Amino acid sequence: MKLSVKDSKGKDQGELEVKFELIENGRGTQAVHDTVVAYRAAQRSGTACTKNVGDVNGTNKKPWRQKGTGRARAGSFASPLWRGGGVVFGPKPRDFSKKVNVRTKQLALRKALSERLKAGDVIVVDDLKLSSPKTKEFLGVMSAFELKGPTLIVAAADKNLLLAARNVPDVAITTGDSLNTYDVLRPNKLLFTRSAFEKIEARLSKD
């Protein structure tokens, strides 16, 4: 498969041959699901915490005697039935992360990128360097490629680019080394620099 390479103004600068093998059939669908579920689970902080009856600070004294008061019997001020008492089966700090092996992650990334390539959602630009960290210049690049809605830019870390794009909603920036399956699936369009795309090819070409 060949991709046309453009400059920052949207003009053709040649073609780029995709070096990794695209997945044409249904293979890899489960890998994508497992990888995305694991990624989103890992984003959970897992820090929610409640106190059970044994954790509540207070006396162990019985609130009132067992009989003779006309009220229901009570044995503890920390009862879950009482305001300020313990919580039954409440959340405790935990780790939500799931294990996904390296081969599954690589298959998922190749599957996701293959689908986006076949759908025509990938744009490759020869280079993407801004002369100044101004949002106006970055918006000029966006309009040249008619990028609207959620967009992912995969490029080398550049201070001007990061500063210019941070005020634009629905635009995310990552590098070729950090790109993951969820990043590929989330946006409407993906804009790669040539060097970033070659890094992804190197990653996906490994056994």
Per-residue pLDDT at 166 exceeds 70: yes
Q: What pLDDT band is residue 7 in, cutting at 50, 70 and 90? A: confident
For the chain, list the strands marked E by DSSP.
2-6, 12-17, 122-125, 151-154, 171-174, 189-193
Q: For the chain, how are helix, strand and coil distributed in percent, rounded to 5?
A: 30, 15, 55
Q: In this predicted model, what pLDDT tens digit does every residue of 86-106 receive, in sequence order?
A: 999 999 999 999 999 999 999
Q: In this predicted model, what pLDDT tens digit does every residue of 120-158 receive, in sequence order?
A: 999 999 988 888 899 999 999 899 888 888 999 999 888
3-state secondary structure 159-188: HHHHHHHCCCCCEEEECCCCCCHHHHHCCC
Tell me: domain 2-28+108-205, CATH 3.40.1370.10, correct? yes
| Average pLDDT of every residue of the chain | 91
How much is the pTM? 0.82
Per-residue pLDDT at 207 exceeds 60: no
Domain boundaries, given as residue ranges, for the chain: 2-28+108-205, 46-95
* Euclidean distance between CA atoms 196 and 174, whole angstroms: 10
Instruction: State the amino acid at position 84 in one-letter form.
Output: G
